[in-house]
Amino acid sequence: MTLRFSVLASGSTGNAVYVETEQQRLLIDAGLSGKKMDELFQSINRDPKDLTGILVSHEHSDHIKGVGIFARKHKLPIYANEKTWQAMNSHLGNLANEQKFIFGIDEVKSFGNLDVESFGVSHDAAEPMFFSFHHEGKKLVLATDMGYVSERIKGTIKDADMFIFESNHDTNMLRMCKYPWSIKRRILSDVGHVSNEDAAMALSECIGDKTSRIYLAHLSLDNNLKDLARLSVEQVLKEQGMAVGEQFELYDTDPHHPTALAVVS
């Protein structure tokens, strides 16, 4: 019995994560065109026709761009909380009411043998939330698009076997870059995105004995680099007494290429 996943795409150009058990095949967000989504599925050798549902974290276009098209094409149920539905409904095009389901914040929903736990995050959307996936004692956490990582979130996501965790920007690169100040302020705010250092500090409190992999996700194209994110996180974790490469490994995600389908162990 296995829980598997792939980060299909990650970053402000579009996000999508695939999670499966033997019985269930879920897509979390579809922030790329329907065509691109099909290609991503092809590269992990999975057929979107076999999906059992789409979960939506929040209504930002990098998370919902392909949701409507994809759900229509493959006749999929969509799950989101009420406020997210209100905010995204008009952007999804025509959907049958039978395709629309409510998945509230702080709920555990069972999709067959896969339990999905939602938790709220601080981000400038209607009611953003992310998810922990539980199957046969294994726990996979997906947490991006957070202004900061609250004590509550840390408590919920603690001790996961694997984390897909936001490491959005290098604070110095962001401060120096050509973005208008209003945008910089938004990213740095409590409802923006988590920096490499803040990601590492939060992770240092959430990593447990079982933790084996951390996937750094939603990297800014302009204000981060894969190597920089990895090194920054590694250094902070080291300062907190944790040796990357011994107990657990750090992994990259990519805006255009899926991570290899991995078993959560």
CA distances (Å), origin 180, targets 190, 193, 220, 221, 237: 18, 16, 15, 16, 32
C-alpha 29/C-alpha 218 separation (Å) is 13
Which of 24/196 has CB closer to Zn ion?
Answer: 196
Q: Is 231 helix (H, G, I), strand (E, B) or coil?
A: helix
Which of 60/184 has CB closer to Zn ion?
Answer: 60
Which single residue is written with the structure tokens 């209607």? 126
Which of 14/48 has CB closer to Zn ion?
Answer: 14
Residue 195 CB neighbour total at 10 angstroms? 26
At closest approach, how far in Å is the CB of 210 from Zn ion?
28
C-alpha 132/C-alpha 48 separation (Å) is 22
Q: Which residues bind Zn ion (CB under 5 A)?
A: 60, 62, 145
Which of 29/170 has CB closer to Zn ion?
Answer: 29
At closest approach, how far in Å is the CB of 166 from Zn ion?
9
Residue type at 51? L
At closest approach, how far in Å is the CB of 182 from Zn ion?
16
At closest approach, how far in Å is the CB of 40 from Zn ion?
16
